[in-house]
Amino acid sequence: MDQPAVDLPLISLRRERRRWLTKLPHALPAVMLLGAGVNRLRNGDQGWALVLAVSELVVSALLLRLLAKDVIASRQPHAAPHHSKVEWFDILAAAVLTAEALEHWHHTGHIQRPVVLTILLTLGLGLFHRQFLQFIGPRRSLRIDHEGIRVRSRFRRQLFAPWQDVELIDLDADKARIVARGGEERRIDLADMRNASEICQALLAARERLMDRQSA
């Protein structure tokens, strides 16, 4: 009886950390906006200024909270990945930029057109996050089924090796190596994988399956 198919994402911790590092530039404007909102409340502003103060407090606090959660998640290697149709951080970043633009308009009476363009671009990336990921290519993944082993990458040609062409599955503490007939191979840096234990279990089962086929 064929074993059930296994389809696992290859989730790079380094990529996730680089991803939240790109979010850090949004932290300073959010902190400044938070301070501006607090100052407005302390000054007893009313009307439009009060609405602006509350908006500044809300969007900046939400963005900083989400950034803190991302940083904490990036330091937990075995945490389950979160998937969403939209990227809430980009949406909140667009809200922070909007609040900044309104703050500038409130003081000067002028709207900064480049900032408006940045707001629209950031909001679009947030709202169409899944479509953007689909556009840049398939997710990195490892699939093991009755046909063979497939390793997909976003910016690299995928490896597909039918069972009769798989020559070696090699694992150690930090890396895995899948070698196909003809010398084609793919390495997986297990030390960089968030779900390394799942990947190891799947490859160990695949190696046993390969050994059974080779000894038959």
CATH 2.30.29 boundaries in the chain:
138-215
The 10 Å Cβ neighbour count of residue 194 is 22
Among 51-55, 114-118, 163-167, the minimum mean pLDDT is found in 51-55
Q: What percent of the chain has pLDDT over 70?
A: 90
Q: What integer is the mean pLDDT of 19-40? A: 82
Q: What is the mean pLDDT of the chain?
A: 84
Is residue 155 scored above 70 in pLDDT? no
- C-alpha to C-alpha distance for 154 and 51, rounded to whole angstroms: 44
The 10 Å Cβ neighbour count of residue 80 is 10
Structure tokens at 82: 């979160």
- C-alpha to C-alpha distance for 163 and 216, rounded to whole angstroms: 13
pTM (global) more than 0.75: no
Among 78-82, 120-124, 129-133, 190-194, the minimum mean pLDDT is found in 78-82
Q: Which CATH class is domain 138-215?
A: mainly beta
SS3 content of the chain, % helix, strand, coil (to 5): 60, 15, 25
Q: What integer is the mean pLDDT of 13-33? A: 81
| CB distance 7 to 141 below 8 Å | yes
Query: In which band, very low, low, confident or very high, does the pLDDT at 1 lie, cut at 50, 70 and 90?
Result: very low
Model confidence pLDDT, tens digit, residues 63-106: 999 888 877 766 665 555 555 678 888 899 999 889 888 888 87
